[in-house]
Amino acid sequence: MQIDKVNIYQVLLPFTSDFAHSLRKRSSAKNIVTEVTAKNGEIKGYGESAPRSYVTGESQESVTSTIKGFIEQNNFPWELNDISQIWEFVDSLPGDKAHHCAICSIETALLDALGKNQNKYIIDYFPKDFRTDKIYYGALIPMDNKERIMEICGLIKKMKIKVNKLRIKIGKDFNQNKEIFDTVKDMFIDSYDLRVDINGAGDREPALKQLQLMKKYKVSIIEQPMMPDDPNIADYAKLAQTYGMILMADESACSLRDVKRLYKEGFYKMINVRLSKCGGFRNSLKIINYLRLNKTPFQIGCHLGESGILSAAGRILSLLCGDAVYYDGSYDKFLLKKNITCEDVSFGFGGEAGPLDGHGLGIKINKQNLLVLSDSSKTVTIMRP
């Protein structure tokens, strides 16, 4: 299969309503979509990444520039006929997190194109050891006012999403956090198991006080309570453990090198693996295999504001990991005003989700929506040499 050109789009995905966590309040997401065109336009493969400055340090502009540089390398597989060519290309790229969103987007686009050309669903390119045919996504509750949280909890109950799969965004404000916990408790009458995500916003003294609050409301897992390399994490982890809670790393765990260091330090006992953050399938599965080897639990997560492209990719990674503890993602219809995919990749009743029909990622692209949601002045095209 001969690749003819690659287009890189900077897209803005508007939300149905504002979504807040401790570091940001968003009404939209700025993502990257990569389009690989092959066989004179007969085949088009798509990939996506969600650059976030506070996660990998990347932006739409830096990812666009990085992808362009990757494609201009001598080893880019312009003649793509075998999966091994994609892995060799990805393995040749820089391993630091500052390139992970770029790697995710171009790798996924190549996989989608190859799968479509060979009439294969992408999942079939990977080992089947931990593969499952069905997963159940959890629900995410943002930092918001009581009325909005009650509305979201009502939807969760209506869809019968398992209450042991709730994830709540909290921040530094003790009273706001207490109101969020009280509201969730009133809605679910104590029958729940909570994960909280602080996005690294915790300072030592307030964070230690917040632990007592979380203990009262039966929080079991705390995700990224402090920013990466915060020296207070050791004291925090020790106290959390005495309260029966474990820490899960997110922003601190973007690469295999990060994960190995965290394992040796021993403060974080669980890892959140996200395709865009971790550099695509190849790099994410290297992390997951290391965690399996060292009997460290993990979840498959997502970035806020993924389009159906990343949702479809995340679905595949999730189905490859029947041993993951939690799954987050496929929130498309619940969050986005307009999507890039023709298919609705959202999870179904009970959070249930399975394989998508079709080849490659199993999705078709609404090209009109892609063009409307992208900034044409910033679209970059690289032609075959």
More confident residue, 185 or 356: 356
Q: Which of 27-36, 213-222, 264-273 has the lowest mean pLDDT?
A: 213-222
Here the tokens at position 280 are 């695509």
DSSP lists the bridge partners of residue 353 as 135
This prediction has a pTM of: 0.96
pLDDT band at 209; cut points 50, 70, 90: confident
For the chain, percent helix, then strand, then coil, each to nearest 5?
A: 40, 20, 35
Q: How far apart are CA 218 and CA 289, in angstroms?
A: 30
Angle between helices 280-293 and 256-265 (to 10 degrees): 20
Q: Does residue 256 register a pLDDT over 60?
A: yes
More confident residue, 195 or 205: 195
Average pLDDT, the chain: 94
Q: How far apart are CA 106 and CA 114, in angstroms?
A: 12
Q: How far apart are CA 237 and CA 269, in angstroms?
A: 10
Q: Quick one: pLDDT at residue 190?
A: 61
**Dihedral sign from CA coordinates of 215, 220, 226, 231:** positive
Per-residue pLDDT tens for 285-325? 999 999 999 999 999 999 999 999 999 999 999 999 999 99
Contact, 105 vs 278, CB < 8 A?
no
pLDDT band at 280; cut points 50, 70, 90: very high
Per-residue pLDDT tens for 352-366? 999 999 999 999 999
Tokens 């550099």 map to which residue? 279
pLDDT band at 166; cut points 50, 70, 90: confident
Determine the average pLDDT of the residues in 159-177: 86
**Of 119, 109, 116, 63, which Cα lies nearest the Cα of 89?**
109
Q: How far apart are CA 338 and CA 354, in angstroms?
A: 23
pLDDT band at 171; cut points 50, 70, 90: confident
Q: Quick one: pLDDT at residue 24?
A: 62
Q: How far apart are CA 266 and CA 15, in angstroms?
A: 38
Per-residue pLDDT tens for 86-106? 999 999 999 899 999 999 999
Q: Does residue 6 register a pLDDT over 80?
A: yes
Tokens 């929080």 map to which residue? 219
**Of 360, 365, 303, which Cα lies nearest the Cα of 329?**
303
Here the tokens at position 210 are 């917040």
Determine the average pLDDT of the residues in 270-294: 98
The structural domains of the chain, ordered by start, are 3-122+364-383 (3.30.390.10), 125-353 (3.20.20.120)
DSSP output for 111-125:
HHHHHHHHT-BGGGG
Alpha helices in the chain (DSSP H): 60-71, 83-91, 100-118, 146-158, 174-188, 204-216, 233-242, 256-265, 275-278, 280-293, 308-319, 332-335, 367-373
Q: Does residue 23 register a pLDDT over 70?
A: no
Q: Does residue 212 register a pLDDT over 70?
A: yes
Q: Does residue 204 register a pLDDT over 80?
A: no
Q: What are phi and psi of 67, to 5 degrees?
A: -60, -45
Backbone Cα Rg of the chain: 20
Determine the average pLDDT of the residues in 110-121: 98
Q: Quick one: pLDDT at residue 375?
A: 96
Q: Which of 75-89, 93-107, 225-239 has the lowest mean pLDDT?
A: 225-239
Q: Quick one: pLDDT at residue 203?
A: 61
